[in-house]
């Protein structure tokens, strides 16, 4: 059997310039991957990304060929570290394969992890996803317990003002420092001046219509030191189509 890698295309998109590769046996595609080079990080290292890696289970023994090609080209481009992403999220699924993943999060076979470990990848960060139903009424003592740590740090939480360029930039920079890339495409366009204030306000209205909320934690100097946000899990609509859905938990990444 002859297996070859085809350099499919090079495109400039939301993630910058990406190169796409297709692994084929004869004329039949059996795998794919894309690579992109991220911006220089605070530790002065260039980070490269392997995106949307997919391999046919029947040909998983040939996955090394595709991964090694991606690593070689990223190294040639100057990448000193490489992160594997799925659907732009800087992680792969490691648990909860019996469940439908939350909206926007990866969903990959468990044996992908074995392939990546065999090619030198190691866990760097862990993300966990939980689904819970909040109580209809929050007790006053619970509110006090949550407020005390903020008061001790002279910090407070407030809604992110999407029309203030400086505040949005601080928020985007904080997210980038935790995920290793420019992950908020629409907000980044606004901070870089590509989008107008009017468009930012329009995006804010859209966020509110789809119940997408962003909150930031600011210290006494006004700097953003933490954040959280919530949005509808659109994939939840698919859960009733499967039996036993109500008792399911969400996967960890």
Q: According to the model, what pLDDT value does residue 249 have?
A: 46
For residues 112 and 168, state if they share a domain. no
Q: Using the 3D structure, point to which of 90, 118, 146 is the last residue of a domain.
A: 118
Q: According to the model, what pLDDT value does residue 224 have?
A: 84
Q: In this structure, is residue 182 part of a structural domain?
A: yes
Contact criterion met (CB below 8 Å) for 196 and 54: no
For residues 66 and 20, state if they share a domain. yes
Q: According to the model, what pLDDT value does residue 190 have?
A: 47
Q: According to the model, what pLDDT value does residue 96 have?
A: 83
Q: In this structure, is residue 204 part of a structural domain?
A: yes
Instruction: Look at residues 8, 30, 3 and name the one whose alpha carbon lies nearest to residue 21.
Output: 8
Instruction: Look at residues 137, 136, 184 and name the one whose alpha carbon lies nearest to residue 160.
Output: 184
For residues 105 and 18, state if they share a domain. yes
Q: In this structure, is residue 128 part of a structural domain?
A: no
Q: According to the model, what pLDDT value does residue 186 have?
A: 47
User: Count of domains in the chain?
Assistant: 2
For residues 7 and 83, state if they share a domain. yes
Domain carrying residue 83: 3-118
For residues 204 and 113, state if they share a domain. no
Q: Using the 3D structure, point to which of 100, 118, 136 is the last residue of a domain.
A: 118
* CATH assignment at residue 29: 3.40.630
Q: According to the model, what pLDDT value does residue 44 have?
A: 65
Q: According to the model, what pLDDT value does residue 185 have?
A: 46
* Residue 55 Rama label (left phi>0; alpha psi -120 to 50; beta): beta
Q: Using the 3D structure, point to which of 67, 98, 118 is the last residue of a domain.
A: 118
Q: According to the model, what pLDDT value does residue 75 have?
A: 92
The pTM assigned to this predicted structure is 0.63
Q: In this structure, is residue 90 part of a structural domain?
A: yes
Torsion sign over Cα 174, 75, 111, 17: positive
**Token digits for 87?**
């659907």
Q: What are the start-end ranges of the E strands in the chain? A: 3-13, 16-25, 28-40, 46-55, 81-85, 156-159, 213-218, 224-230
For residues 108 and 166, state if they share a domain. no
Q: According to the model, what pLDDT value does residue 32 have?
A: 92
For residues 160 and 75, state if they share a domain. no
For residues 203 and 112, state if they share a domain. no
Give per-10-residue mean pLDDT for the chain (253 aa).
58 66 88 83 74 92 93 91 84 83 83 94 82 73 70 77 80 72 50 59 71 80 80 65 46 42
């Amino acid at each position: 059997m002859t297996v070859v890698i085809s350099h499919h295309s090079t495109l400039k998109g939301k993630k910058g310039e990406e190169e796409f590769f297709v692994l084929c046996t004869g004329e039949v595609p059996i795998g794919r991957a894309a690579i992109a080079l991220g911006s220089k990080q605070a530790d002065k290292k260039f980070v490269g990304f392997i995106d949307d890696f997919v391999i046919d289970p029947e040909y998983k023994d040939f996955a090394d060929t595709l991964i090694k090609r991606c690593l070689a080209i990223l190294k040639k481009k100057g990448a000193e570290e490489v992160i594997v992403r799925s659907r732009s999220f800087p992680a792969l699924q490691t648990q909860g394969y019996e469940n439908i993943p939350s909206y926007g999060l990866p969903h990959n076979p468990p044996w992908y992890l074995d392939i990546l470990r065999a090619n030198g990848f190691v866990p760097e960060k862990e993300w966990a996803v939980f689904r819970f139903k909040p109580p209809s009424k929050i007790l006053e003592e619970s509110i006090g317990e949550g407020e005390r740590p903020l008061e001790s740090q002279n910090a407070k939480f407030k809604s992110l003002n999407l029309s203030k360029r400086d505040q949005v930039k601080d928020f985007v920079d904080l997210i980038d420092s935790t995920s290793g890339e420019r992950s908020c495409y629409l907000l980044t366009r606004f901070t870089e001046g590509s989008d107008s204030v009017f468009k930012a306000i329009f995006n804010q209205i859209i966020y509110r219509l789809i119940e997408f909320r962003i909150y930031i934690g600011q210290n006494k100097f006004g700097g953003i030191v933490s954040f959280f946000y919530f949005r509808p899990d659109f994939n939840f609509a698919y859960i009733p189509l499967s039996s036993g859905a109500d008792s399911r938990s969400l996967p960890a990444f």
